[in-house]
Amino acid sequence: MTQNLDLTDIQGNIIKAYGAYNYQKARYLFLRIDKGDKGRKFVGAITTKVTSAVPWEKSSKDTDSAVKPQATTNIAFTFAGLKALELPMASLRGFPEDFIMGMAKRKDILGDDGPSDPQNWDNIWKEEVHAWISINGQSIDAVIKRYDWVLEQIKASDGGVTLLTGHRGENGEDDLPYQDASVLYDATGTPTPKEHFGYTDGIGDPVFEGQINVSARVLGRGKLTREGNWEPLATGEFLLGHVDEAMEYPQTAPAPWLLALNGTYMVYRKLHENIGTFNRFLEEQSKHFPGSKEMLAAKFAGRWRDNGAPIVNAPDDESKERWDKQYAEADEAGRKKMLTDFTYNQDITGAKCPYSAHIRRINPRGSLEYGVKDAYDTPGALVNRRRILRRGLPYGEVKDATRDDGNHGIIFMALNVDIQRQFEFIQQQWINYANDFKEGNDKEVLLGNHDANNPGKVVLQVEPGSGKPPHFVSKIPRLVETRGGDYFFIPSITALKLIAAGMVDPT
């Protein structure tokens, strides 16, 4: 079943990863709604500039598309925010438990302990956050211009809403009124798809029904069929009001229908990267690793740092050279295919891409059948309901690569219709635990909430029957720490107008 999405109604950040459209800069604002009526008026004002998912024009004759703006704007709310906007109780009670509780209260589910505990988060998270506004810009000037416009609307709300402060910044500040994010640049000032550990990011994002140009993008990004083909996932995995993989409408939708339709939930997480520890750890571990340091780094993530080559198809230094050569000779479509079109089914022992690798843990593709022919209804049975859209960007700057205490990491945003079933499941069962991978409690190397007093290990599998021992990566330190975040509802543009007009009526 193919359906056309109403792109004029869907907020643009759901469908587009702006970073991939040359929006190199972003600024995230968090607000408190102090007065219902003035708050709703403010939402109405912001809605006039909210960016929809309509494709941007390629030529001026293209009438179905919009002009690509210098800056985009999107808005979302926490449960407390929707309450402050005075949504009727009959609507509020239809939201799911995870969203109602918010991220900090879910810390035991998420493993946000020790340095990731909410008490160590940026100050802003010590207050009740109600709304999130994002600005993505093609330049920092465009971001600032739109930011100034938002400030004017806040002022015009006349005490209706307050911009919250308390973000940590570059120079030791802890009271900034916004969180900036930016793509990273190489030495020549050219934008790159890198994050601070040096990995190439932003390659794989799920493809679902109703998106544009699905057939060109679905390879390795949709769901795997029994025949070994890729098909787009059901729309209802990512947008409320559409049929999901269980052939029903997502149960996480509030009433009325128009409030939910074309909306979704967003997980916002500020993830600090311990750069010094990562570099020392990689250096130390690679001393007794039978392969290069880069190969070891690739084993952690499942992709090589320099160009994102999937390690399952380039498992060692030698095969990587061959892969690179082939990649250099491939055309645009061929390159995309090389980056995304793979499974782990030829690697059931993990000898190429270890079970602990970030991308294998987070999207095992068909491999949870463990090579048992036709074990499940479909090879992706345990995976297709655990997918998330990623919409993040790096933040901060690494000024001293030997230290952890700067302000650098990833603003991670995951979009899904069911936070508990999709994002939280991945975080809890696949990152911080490994029963599904038959690896007991071994946590994923990069993201696991490793305990300094009782550090964990992972096993990097080798070719079975080779007589060679697997490689043990032990004493893994905490490489990524949570610095804040919450769960948000991203309404459709229709729903924003209803909220702004105070016309949400679930009867």
Partner 1 sequence: MSNIAGKAYAMNVITPIRWYMVWINRLIFKIALNRPSTLKGLITLSLIHYARWVIIPRNAFPRLDENQPKEDLNYAYMLFFSNFNGSWDQYVDSFTFAIPAGLDLFWKWNVRYPKSVPLTPFHDYIRHNQIDTAHYYNAYPMAASNDVKSAKKVKKALIDFNAVSSDKAPDDFLKDYNKLLNDLQLQLGEMKPTPIVSLSSYEVKKRYEQTQTH
> Are the C-beta atoms of residues 475 and 465 closer than 8 Å to each other?
no
Best CA proximity match to 224, nearest among 340, 355, 384, 334: 384
| Residue 252 binding: pick among ligand HEM, partner 1, none (C-beta 5-8 Å cut-off by kind) | none
Q: Which two tokens stand for residue 32?
A: 């408190």
Query: What is the rounded CA–CA span in Å between residue 38 and residue 35?
Result: 6
Indicate which of partner 1, ligand HEM, none lies near residue 369 (CB less than 5 to 8 Å, by partner kind): partner 1
Query: Considering only residues 90, 214, 246, 330, which one is a binding residue for partner 1 as defined by CB under 8 A?
Result: 246
Q: Are strands 131-137 and 471-476 parallel, antiparallel or unpaired?
A: unpaired
Kindly report the length of the chain: 507
Measured from the CB of residue 94, what is the shortest distance to partner 1 in angstroms? 14
Binding window for ligand HEM (CB under 6 A); candidates: 66-74, 99-107, 202-210, 326-334? 202-210
At 358, give phi and psi (nearest 5°). -45, -55
Q: Which residues pair with 131 in a beta bridge?
A: 31, 77
Question: Applying CB under 8 A, does 54 fall inside the site for partner 1?
Answer: no
Q: Measure the CA–CA gap between 114 and 128, rounded to whole angstroms.
A: 22
Residues 419, 265: Cα–Cα separation, whole Å: 7
| Residue among 37 and 248 whose Cβ is closer to partner 1 | 248
- Closest to 231 (Cα-Cα) out of 210, 258, 250: 210
Tokens standing for 443?
């946590």
Residue 346 touching partner 1 (CB under 8 A):
no
From the list ligand HEM, partner 1, none, partner contacted by residue 201 (C-beta under 5 to 8 A by kind): ligand HEM
Helix (H, G, I), strand (E, B) or coil at 402: coil
Q: How far is CA 384 from the centre of its chain?
A: 16
Q: What is the rounded CA–CA span in Å between residue 473 and residue 479?
A: 14
Find the shortest distance in angstroms from Cβ 408 to ligand HEM.
Answer: 10
One residue of 199, 238, 395, 425 binding ligand HEM per CB under 6 A: 199
Nearer residue to partner 1 within complex by CB, 172 or 467: 467
Least distance between partner 1 and beta carbon 485 (Å): 18
Spell out, one character per residue from 393 to 422, where the chain touches ligand HEM: x when CB under 6 A holds, - when not. ----------------xx-x-x--------
Helices 275-286, 293-301: axis angle to 10 degrees equals 120
DSSP letter for 443, please: P
In degrees and rounded to multiples of 5, residue 223 shows phi and psi of -115, 145
CA dist., res. 467 & res. 471, Å (int): 12
Write each residue from 275 to 314 as x if it is in contact with partner 1 (CB under 8 A), else as -, in one continuous string: ----------------------------------------
Please pick, from the candidates 251, 292, 346, 402, the single residue that binds partner 1 as defined by CB under 8 A.
251
Minimum distance, C-beta of residue 395 to ligand HEM, in the bound complex (Å): 11
3-state secondary structure 261-291: CCCEEEEEEEEEECHHHHHHHHHHHHCCCCC
For residue 256, what are its two tokens?
Answer: 């009325």
Does 1 participate in binding partner 1 (rule CB under 8 A)? no
Closest CB 383 distance from partner 1, rounded Å = 9
Q: Give, as ranges, the residues between 305 and 324 that touch ligand HEM (CB under 6 A).
A: 308
Closest CB 371 distance from partner 1, rounded Å: 9
Helix (H) or strand (E) holding 460: strand 456-460
The distance of closest approach from Cβ of residue 429 to partner 1 in the complex, given in angstroms and rounded to an integer, is 7
**Contact flag: residue 457 with partner 1 (CB under 8 A):** yes
**Is the Cβ of residue 131 or residue 239 nearer to partner 1 in the bound state?**
239
Min dist. Cβ of residue 4 to partner 1 (A): 23
Residue 276 phi/psi, 5-degree rounding, is -60, -50
* Shortest Å distance, C-beta 363 to partner 1: 15
In the complex, which residues of this chain contact ligand HEM (CB under 6 A)?
Answer: 195, 197, 199, 201-204, 271, 273, 301, 303, 308, 358-359, 362-363, 388, 390, 409-410, 412, 414, 423, 426-427, 446-447, 480
In the complex, which residues of this chain contact partner 1 (CB under 8 A)?
Answer: 106, 108-109, 111, 245-248, 251, 349-350, 368-370, 372, 374-378, 381-382, 384-385, 420-421, 425, 428-429, 432-442, 454, 456-457, 459, 461-462, 464-470
